[in-house]
């Protein structure tokens, strides 16, 4: 191979190298087959950089126009699937730049003035992630709305509230759904926070130390919408930090992990509730699968997979944190490994949120404007299960306290009453008044109101409690918040 051929074939960056990269090393070091999905961010960042170079007189107006023209062509080619991505050109940045130069000549070669791939890639990841965070924010709103819809329909449905998965106290199924709305609303807050710190500009840091060209970084930040709520440009203030840290990606994955953990808790409940021994709910057939051997089976594959995929996202968080640990300043190629875990986290989370919104709340029927096919609630089964575990025992204790007994004494008396009911194989509310009075003579006929599931539910009127009046207050609050 002649020296000239060697340069063409193996090196996108310099004539310094005396031997070509082996195919294995090329494959090992290249990232184009996964980072090409950031192409839009790469072009957006390049256009903002070029605009500023022109405004600062670092490149001429003609070169700027050529870069714009070339990038428009590249955009069209990528969108129509006519762009040829080359492994030899290593990554999305070099692929696009090389094509630009092919299209517009020297102007393309001037684009990289005052810039390095180090600040370029950091900018691209931030821009890409910012738009994904915005989508995730919308999906979280959709999911919360689905849950609020189900909550509203089931405010008066009683299910056993568990602690230790043992029947504890009656709760409203609507209240139970709203517990998840709280979790997902905090998740949304976390993503908004992460977005704020992601939305800062590394460009201008160049390779690591800044650059000698008179760049206007704040102008680029404004062009790219990297501004705070008052419109002030947000620029990374230390060049070494700008090119090297990926804490925003770690923070994002951490927020995604928590969201998936919340999803996994819900999944676990859906799976339990669907089992024949509970039969609390049904999910639509399109979210279940059959068994190849047992003809009667309908398996909750979607929640099971979501529970499993949570592990995958937790793994990505571990991967990214470990990637960053111990890296000396500034940029190291290790950071190329940030993309696959980040991309997979985004894909997994978005798909999961979409599918859960629909599985819980149903799908909009355009003909009727009504959502159909969400979860089906079996209210009698839930209520029946609540009657099984002495769920109103605390209410009996509270009843005695209101009659003047210290709580600890009341607690002890009720334990005896539960023991008696167990030996009669009946609920507390089924014990005759005379029997109840043996435990304490202050017990009167009105005790049956507080021993009923509905009486117990209605009594829990504290802010954030399960009484239907409170649940309605919360539904109204969420409706305003999510509108």
Q: Enumerate the β-bridge partners of residue 75.
A: none
**Residue closer to ligand ARG, measured from CB, 91 or 245:** 91
* Residue from 169, 172, 199, 335 binding ligand ARG (CB under 6 A): 335
Determine the interface stretch with ligand ARG among 81-89, 114-122, 320-328, 347-355 (rule: CB under 6 A).
114-122
Provide, rounded to whole angstroms, the least separation between the CB of residue 339 and ligand ARG: 6
Q: Cα(51)–Cα(60) distance, rounded to whole angstroms?
A: 10
**Residue closer to ligand ARG, measured from CB, 121 or 283:** 121
Q: Does 123 bind ligand ARG (CB under 6 A)?
A: no
* Residue from 66, 95, 118, 458 binding ligand ARG (CB under 6 A): 118
The single-letter DSSP state of residue 421 is H
78-95 exposure pattern, b = at least 16 Cβ within 10 A, e = fewer? beeeebebeebbbbbbbb
Please confirm whether the linkage preceding 293 is cis (ω < 30° from 0).
Answer: no
**Residue closer to ligand ARG, measured from CB, 31 or 66:** 31
- For strand 363-365 and strand 281-282, is the pairing parallel, antiparallel, or unpaired? unpaired
Q: Does 117 bind ligand ARG (CB under 6 A)?
A: yes
Determine the interface stretch with ligand ARG among 44-52, 113-121, 138-146, 305-313 (rule: CB under 6 A).
113-121
Q: Enumerate the β-bridge partners of residue 282.
A: 376
- For strand 166-172 and strand 158-163, is the pairing parallel, antiparallel, or unpaired? antiparallel
Task: Give the residue among 200, 189, 201, 181 at the shortest CA–CA distance from 133.
Answer: 189
Provide, rounded to whole angstroms, the least separation between the CB of residue 467 and ligand ARG: 54
Provide, rounded to whole angstroms, the least separation between the CB of residue 16 and ligand ARG: 14
Q: Does 266 bind ligand ARG (CB under 6 A)?
A: no
Q: Cα(38)–Cα(32) distance, rounded to whole angstroms?
A: 10
Q: Which of 22, 291, 416, 424 is catalytic?
A: 291
Provide, rounded to whole angstroms, the least separation between the CB of residue 333 and ligand ARG: 6
**Residue closer to ligand ARG, measured from CB, 13 or 407:** 13
The Cβ of residue 289 has, within 10 Å, a number of other Cβ atoms equal to 14
**Residue closer to ligand ARG, measured from CB, 29 or 376:** 29
Q: Cα(105)–Cα(69) distance, rounded to whole angstroms?
A: 12
- Whether 309 and 260 have beta carbons less than 8 Å apart is answered as yes
Positive or negative CA dihedral for 110, 116, 117, 122?
negative
80 catalytic, yes or no?
Answer: no
Q: Cα(270)–Cα(258) distance, rounded to whole angstroms?
A: 18
Task: Give the torsion through C-alpha atoms of 398, 400, 404, 408, to 10 deg.
Answer: -70
For residues 15 to 54, the per-residue mask of contacts with ligand ARG, x marking binding by CB under 6 A and - elsewhere, is ----------------x---x-------------------
Provide, rounded to whole angstroms, the least separation between the CB of residue 385 and ligand ARG: 53
For residues 424 to 463, the per-residue mask of contacts with ligand ARG, x marking binding by CB under 6 A and - elsewhere, is ----------------------------------------
Provide, rounded to whole angstroms, the least separation between the CB of residue 118 and ligand ARG: 5
Token pair of 463 as six digits: 């802010």
Q: At 364, phi and psi to the nearest 5?
A: -70, 125
* Residue from 41, 67, 121, 417 binding ligand ARG (CB under 6 A): 121
Q: Does 333 bind ligand ARG (CB under 6 A)?
A: yes
**Residue closer to ligand ARG, measured from CB, 120 or 440:** 120
For residues 70 to 109, the per-residue mask of contacts with ligand ARG, x marking binding by CB under 6 A and - elsewhere, is ---------------------x------------------
CB within 8 Å of 196: residues ≥ 6 apart:
228
Q: Does 466 bind ligand ARG (CB under 6 A)?
A: no
Q: Which of 2, 14, 80, 164 is catalytic?
A: 164
Determine the interface stretch with ligand ARG among 59-67, 256-264, 332-340, 464-472 (rule: CB under 6 A).
332-340
164 catalytic, yes or no?
Answer: yes
- Helix, coil or strand: residue 238: coil
Q: Cα(52)–Cα(409) distance, rounded to whole angstroms?
A: 77
Q: Enumerate the β-bridge partners of residue 370.
A: 365
Q: Enumerate the β-bridge partners of residue 213.
A: none
Token pair of 285 as six digits: 């057939």
Tell me which residues touch ligand ARG (CB under 6 A): 31, 35, 91, 117-118, 121, 331, 333, 335-336
Residues identified as active-site = 164, 291
């Amino acid at each position: 191979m002649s020296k000239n051929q060697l340069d063409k074939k193996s090196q996108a960056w310099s004539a310094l190298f005396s031997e070509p990269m082996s195919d294995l090393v090329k494959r090992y070091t290249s990232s184009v087959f996964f980072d090409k999905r950031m192409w839009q961010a790469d072009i957006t960042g390049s256009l903002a950089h070029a605009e500023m170079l022109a405004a600062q007189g670092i490149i001429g107006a003609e070169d700027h126009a050529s870069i714009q023209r070339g990038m428009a062509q590249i955009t069209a080619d990528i969108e129509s699937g006519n762009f040829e991505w080359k492994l030899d050109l290593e990554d999305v940045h070099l692929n696009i730049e090389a094509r630009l130069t092919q299209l517009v000549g020297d102007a393309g070669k001037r684009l990289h003035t005052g810039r390095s791939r180090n600040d370029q890639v950091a900018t691209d990841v931030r821009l890409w992630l910012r738009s994904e965070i915005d989508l995730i924010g919308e999906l979280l709103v959709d999911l919360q709305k689905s849950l609020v819809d189900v909550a509203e329909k089931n405010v008066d449905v009683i299910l056993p509230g568990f602690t230790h998965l043992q029947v504890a106290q009656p709760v409203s199924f609507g209240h139970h759904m709203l517990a998840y709305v709280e979790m997902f609303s905090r998740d949304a807050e976390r993503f908004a926070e992460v977005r704020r710190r992601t939305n800062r500009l590394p460009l201008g840091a160049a390779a690591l130390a800044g650059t000698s060209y008179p760049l206007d970084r704040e102008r680029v930040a404004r062009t790219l919408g990297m501004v705070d709520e008052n419109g002030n440009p947000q620029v990374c203030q230390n060049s070494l930090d700008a090119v090297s840290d990926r804490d925003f990606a770690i923070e994002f994955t951490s927020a995604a992990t928590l969201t998936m953990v919340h999803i996994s808790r819900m999944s676990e409940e859906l799976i339990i509730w669907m089992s024949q021994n509970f039969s609390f709910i049904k999910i639509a057939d399109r979210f279940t699968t059959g068994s190849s051997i047992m003809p009667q089976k309908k398996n909750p594959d979607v929640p099971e997979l979501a529970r499993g995929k949570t592990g995958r996202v937790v793994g990505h968080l571990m991967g990214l944190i470990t990637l960053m640990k111990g890296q000396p300043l500034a940029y190291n190629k290790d950071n190329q490994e940030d993309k696959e875990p980040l991309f997979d986290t985004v894909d997994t989370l978005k798909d999961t949120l979409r599918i859960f919104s629909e599985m819980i709340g149903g799908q909009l029927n355009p003909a009727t404007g009504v959502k159909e096919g969400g979860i089906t609630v079996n209210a009698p089964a839930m209520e029946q299960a609540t009657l099984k575990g002495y769920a109103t025992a605390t209410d009996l204790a509270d009843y005695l306290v209101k009659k003047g007994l210290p709580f600890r004494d009341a607690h002890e008396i009720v334990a005896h009453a539960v023991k008696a009911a167990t030996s009669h194989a009946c609920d507390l509310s089924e014990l005759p008044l005379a029997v109840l009075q043996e435990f304490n003579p202050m017990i009167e006929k009105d005790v049956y109101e507080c021993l009923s599931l509905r009486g117990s539910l209605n009594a829990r009127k504290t802010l954030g409690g399960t009484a239907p009046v409170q649940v309605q207050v919360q539904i109204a609050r969420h409706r305003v918040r999510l509108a």
